[in-house]
Structure 1
Amino acid sequence: MKIATYNVNGVNGRLPVLLRWLQETQPDVACLQELKAPQDKFPLAAIQEAGYNAIWHGQKSWNGVAILTRGAKIEEVRRDLPGDEEDLHSRYIEGVVNGVLICGLYLPNGNPAPGPKFDYKLKWFDRLIAHAARLIELDMPVVITGDFNVMPTELDVYKPERWVDDALFRPETRAAFQKLLDQGWVDAIRKLYPDEVIYTFWDYFRNAYGRNAGLRIDHFLLGPKAAGRLKAGGVDRQVRGWEKTSDHGPVWIEIADK
């Protein structure tokens, strides 16, 4: 099973890029973030024409997450992160595909930090950690993936000294990510490429993509039953170079069927 995650930065405005990527790479599952579309404006017809089923949780102008599956049925489990009934942001969705629990997320950015947005990020992270502690105990393969808005280590950021006060790289943020790993989750890309410089995001400004001045903020965390089946993974870096594309590149892994 090939599973991908892609922050599309506007599913309707960048629909041609999304459809081209799906056609060229054909992931079995694709988790999308930053749909920036209300629930009734999700381009389901175009997605289905491309051969994919979908579940999604939209939100006007901001956020939004989806899970697409190529041919396979998807059983929606939930479309919110437990722990705060007043949180109306569309940032989390879960579904079962071929016996694998897929958890797609768009973790808050948190800037400027410190401040209310950073406080919200850390509280959201705490809720994720609590929920992940339950997920990792399930007797099935579990994959948590999406835009975490975290650079876990200095290897994951171009010129880390420039990011020390940023919400994506502050010690509190990195410590929260480490708490997930300490539960037993495996960072799939780092498992495959422990020492390589790998980025998943390049800003639109200052020719960041051309200079490879990027960040690794889109991640796959695998529970034990999924980590044992990990075969391959990487970043579709070329997609970031397409016209009118997202500032993220798609990330993917492959896990064995059994």
Structure 2
Amino acid sequence: MRIATWNVNGINGRLLILLDWLAAAKPDVVCLQELKAPQDKFPAAAIEKAGYGAIWQGQARWNGVAILARGCTPVETHRGLPGDPSDEQARYIEAAIGGVLVGGLYAPNGNPHPGPKFDYKLAWNERLIAHAKMLYGLTEPVVVAGDYNVIPTDLDVYKPERWQDDALFQPEPRAQYRRLVDQGWVDALRHLHPDARLYTFWDYWRNAFARNAGIRIDHLLLNPAAAARLESAGVDTDVRAREGTSDHAPTWIDLKDG
């Protein structure tokens, strides 16, 4: 089973690129972020024609998350991150697919830092940590995938000194990510490539992609049952090279059959 995550940065504007990638890569499960589309503007028909069932939580202009499953419809188990009923931002969705529980997330960016957006980022992360603790205790395989908007270590950034003032690189969210992983989750990409400079995001400006001046902020975390099935993990950087594409690249894992 191949499970991928991709911040598509506007699903309708990138739809042809998404469909081409689905046809070429044939992932079994895809977590999408930053749909930037209201609920009724999600391109469900085009995705169904490509062979994928979908669930999604849309939001006009901002945010938005979806889970796609090849050849079936994901069985939704959660919509929205628990812990704050007043939070209306579309940032978390969860489903059971083929015996695996998949959580798809788009964590807050938090810029400008400091300020209310950074405070919201930290509070949202705390809710994620609490929910992840519950998920970790499940016996079935669990994968929590998405754009975490945190650069975990200096190895995950081209030039750390250029990100010192950015919310993604502040000590507080990095410490929260460590606390999350310390529950026992396996960061799949880093686990299989412990010393590699692998990036999942490159800015549009300053020719960042051509220079490989990127950061790693898209992560797939696995509980023990999922980690026991982990075979490979990677980043489809060729998708980032396409004209008009997202500033993120699809990131994926392969799980052997259970």
- The verdict on a shared fold, with TM-score over 0.5 as the criterion, is yes
C-alpha distance in structure 2 between counterparts of 1:256 and 1:122, whole Å: 35
C-alpha distance in structure 1 between counterparts of 2:72 and 2:143, whole Å: 17
C-alpha distance in structure 2 between counterparts of 1:75 and 1:19, whole Å: 22
TM-score (norm 1): 0.99
Q: Which residue of 2 aligns with 1:219?
A: 219
Cα RMSD of the aligned pairs, angstroms, is 0.6
Q: Which residue of 2 aligns with 1:135?
A: 135
C-alpha distance in structure 2 between counterparts of 1:190 and 1:78, whole Å: 27
Measure how far apart 1:73 and its partner are. Answer: 3.6
In structure 2, the gaps of 5 or more residues are none
C-alpha distance in structure 1 between counterparts of 2:109 and 2:31, whole Å: 18
What is the SS of the residue equivalent to 2:180?
Answer: helix
Q: Which residue of 2 aligns with 1:164?
A: 164
Q: Deviations over 1:56-115 (max 9, x none)?
A: 000000000000000034210011100000000000000000110000000000001111
In structure 1, the gaps of 5 or more residues are none
Q: Which residue of 2 aligns with 1:60?
A: 60
What is the SS of the residue equivalent to 1:165?
Answer: coil
Structure 1 runs of 4+ aligned residues shifted over 6 Å read none
Q: Which residue of 2 aligns with 1:99?
A: 99
C-alpha distance in structure 2 between counterparts of 1:73 and 1:80, whole Å: 19
Q: Which residue of 2 aligns with 1:254?
A: 254
C-alpha distance in structure 2 between counterparts of 1:165 and 1:103, whole Å: 30
Measure how far apart 1:163 and its partner are. Answer: 1.0
Percent same amino acid at aligned positions?
66
Q: Which residue of 1 aligns with 2:35?
A: 35
Q: Which residue of 2 aligns with 1:71?
A: 71
C-alpha distance in structure 1 between counterparts of 2:228 and 2:58, whole Å: 33
Q: Which residue of 1 aligns with 2:244?
A: 244
Q: Which residue of 1 aligns with 2:21?
A: 21
Q: Deviations over 1:145-199 (max 9, x none)?
A: 0000011000000110111221000000100000011100000001100000000
Size of the aligned set, in residue pairs, is 258
TM-score (norm 2): 0.99
Which residue identity lines up with residue 173 of structure 2 in the other structure? T
